[in-house]
Amino acid sequence: MKLVIQIPCLNEEETLPLVLETMPKEIPGIDEIELLVIDDGSTDRTVEVAKSYGVRHFVHHTRNMGLARSFRDGVEYALGVMGADIVVNTDGDNQYPQQMIGDLVQPLLRGEADIAIGDRQTATIAHFSPFKKVMQRVGSEVVNFAAGTELPDAASGFRAYSRKALIRLNIVTQFSYCMETIIQAGNKRLKIASVPITTNPKTRESRLFKNIFQHMAKSGQAIMRSYIMFKPHTIFTTLGVLLLVVGLIPFLRFLILNWMGTAGDHIQSLILGSSLLVGSLLSFALLIISDLLRTNRVLLEDTLQRLKEIQYGEDARPADVRHVTLPGPAGSVVDAPTEDAGSARTTS
């Protein structure tokens, strides 16, 4: 059983030593532990610091690509080059207690879950404002509604994924993978466990967003997109029925007044009602289109899953990582791993 701990980094030379120094060396049930650093366009000595602590595997972005792309590229490398059975994602700012990685992976090792998410118990975090604590709770409830889950901390990035789960998940958002993977996993009937954890003292401000309102806006956009992908009928049926009911009121009012011979002064009711009914018709048309797209997406995801099983499955695991390369996306350069110098994948 091989565990790969991936660490997305953007200029983390000051905090990365705190992370690497506290990494577990042994975990019951795990035969091998490897570290993977995703350098998301760092301009400081992040890579040099990681190498000084013995890290051999790297994914390099020539410019900042964002957390979601870093997660996706790291997973591809961990599965394809390193042959990971479990991938744990943590942060380079030392927010999470690396000593608890052993606890985080236990639900996966026991076969009780496909994904484990660290519950930061946000209500107890001292540097979280009351407003942020409330928004964290509300955001988790929204994600749980969209995913059909019961997770207390949906925004936590301290997570463990099984190989099976990663093969079935497909990241499409550009902001953060956290909400999207939960909604996908919930709708794909993957089992998600929550593991209570503590957090380390704050080391710096988040680089993912400028303020909580930007975070709320981008997270809301990602949640809505993912929800429409999996449950378009809920959105467009509700919208269509609502517009139909509301549109019938002024429309019927005009018809009644017209029957009474006094409709001439109420042409606005006809215009408003007709507009709402047209909106309802468009909603039902979008429902049909989105349902067809959903069916097509399901077929495409089944194909992607089979391709990933061929690429990352048991028979495809590299026997010797020194001579394995991965085909990268357009415009990327993939460096062959070496035992001595460490491995690296560079993406523009």
Same domain, 115 and 262: no
Determine the Cα–Cα distance for residues 215 and 168; give it in Å rounded to an integer.
27
Does some domain include residue 105?
yes
Same domain, 226 and 238: no
Domain with residue 60: its CATH number is 3.90.550.10
Same domain, 47 and 105: yes
Same domain, 171 and 277: no
pLDDT at 208: 63
Does some domain include residue 150?
yes
Does some domain include residue 10?
yes
Determine the Cα–Cα distance for residues 38 and 241; give it in Å rounded to an integer.
47
Same domain, 176 and 247: no
Same domain, 192 and 159: yes
Does some domain include residue 309?
no
Same domain, 72 and 20: yes
Does some domain include residue 119?
yes
Same domain, 259 and 177: no
Task: Record the tokens describing residue 95, joined without a space.
Answer: 């927010």
State which of 184, 212, 230 marks the end of a domain.
230
Same domain, 201 and 251: no
Does some domain include residue 8?
yes
Determine the Cα–Cα distance for residues 73 and 347; give it in Å rounded to an integer.
9
Q: How far is CA 148 from CA 109, 161, 267, 324, in A?
A: 24, 19, 46, 39
- Low-confidence residues of the chain: pLDDT under 70: 175, 203-211, 261-266, 313-348
pLDDT digits (tens, 9 = 90+) for 304-327: 888 888 888 665 555 444 333 344
Determine the Cα–Cα distance for residues 285 and 289; give it in Å rounded to an integer.
6
The total domain count for the chain is: 2
pLDDT at 34: 95
State which of 186, 213, 230 marks the end of a domain.
230
Domain that holds residue 289: 232-298
pLDDT digits (tens, 9 = 90+) for 60-96: 998 888 888 899 999 999 999 999 999 999 988 888 9
Same domain, 246 and 205: no
Same domain, 70 and 208: yes
pLDDT at 223: 80
Does some domain include residue 188?
yes
Does some domain include residue 324?
no
Other C-beta atoms closer than 10 Å to the C-beta of 124 total 10
State which of 205, 230, 255 marks the end of a domain.
230
- Residue 229: phi and psi, rounded to 5, are -60, -40
Burial of 132 (0-12, 13-18, 19+ CB in 10 A): middle
Same domain, 51 and 168: yes
pLDDT at 341: 45
